[in-house]
Amino acid sequence: MPLRTIIAVLLLAPLGFLALVGVWSTEGGSASSLPFPAVRNELRGGAQPAAGDPVRLRIPALNVDAAVEDVGLTASGGMDVPKNWNHAGWFRFGARPGEAGNAVLAGHLDSPSAPAIFWDLAKLRPGDAVTVEDALGRIHTFTVTNSVRYTGGDAPMEELFGPTPRSLLRLITCEGEWDKEKETYGERLVVTARMKT
């Protein structure tokens, strides 16, 4: 094969490759082809702030009045946590508080050196009030119905996060014994509250 042919191959092959990759990626590789808005937003680098997103959590019985961050998923597919120890983290791929569905807010029990926002979450009792303010200034009021502790992987994830026609609020924090090796507590506490009608 002559030298100029070899050079031509070396020059044209990458061009052909790039052209074909371009066609391929616009047909099937874009996030916009995915069916679910939440997943599209995640792939684009996070959900856009929306008017009804929660911004403030108040639990008078625990003297909690805290800002709300939105959180997504960890690399392993678990629910992520708020970056600030004293903020609540709203799971942005679930319902907003006030909508039909499970609106899930997680908060830290403690930091390495001090109590955090949900230090006293276990003290909530049925009938206690929880309010969530959204970005439009609307106040959604919930009434605590129950608290359940889960160990390891025994939490009913579909029930806690999946769709439901009711407007529920799930408050989650850590419980149980501290595992030094895994650096985590062995249980999770889930407090459920139902929207006041």
Residues 166-195 touching another protein, rule: CB under 8 A, are: 172-174, 177-178, 180, 183-185, 188, 190
The answer to whether 26 and 32 have CB atoms below 8 angstroms apart is: no
Determine, following the binding rule CB under 8 A, whether residue 12 of this chain makes contact with another protein: yes
In whole angstroms, give the CA distance from residue 121 to residue 141: 17
In whole angstroms, give the CA distance from residue 167 to residue 197: 10
| Phi/psi at 115 (5° precision) | -65, 155
Q: Which is nearer to another protein, 139 or 178 (by Cβ)?
A: 178
Determine, following the binding rule CB under 8 A, whether residue 94 of this chain makes contact with another protein: yes
- For 36, the token pair is 């679910």
Q: Which of 98, 161, 168, 192 binds another protein (CB under 8 A)?
A: 161
Determine, following the binding rule CB under 8 A, whether residue 76 of this chain makes contact with another protein: yes
Determine, following the binding rule CB under 8 A, whether residue 85 of this chain makes contact with another protein: yes
Which residues in 121-140 contact another protein (CB under 8 A)?
A: none
Nearest to 189 by CA among 164, 165, 172: 172
Total number of residues binding another protein (CB under 8 A)?
A: 73
In whole angstroms, give the CA distance from residue 81 to residue 148: 19
Determine, following the binding rule CB under 8 A, whether residue 162 of this chain makes contact with another protein: yes
Q: Which is nearer to another protein, 2 or 127 (by Cβ)?
A: 2
Q: Which is nearer to another protein, 109 or 132 (by Cβ)?
A: 109
The answer to whether 141 and 59 have CB atoms below 8 angstroms apart is: no
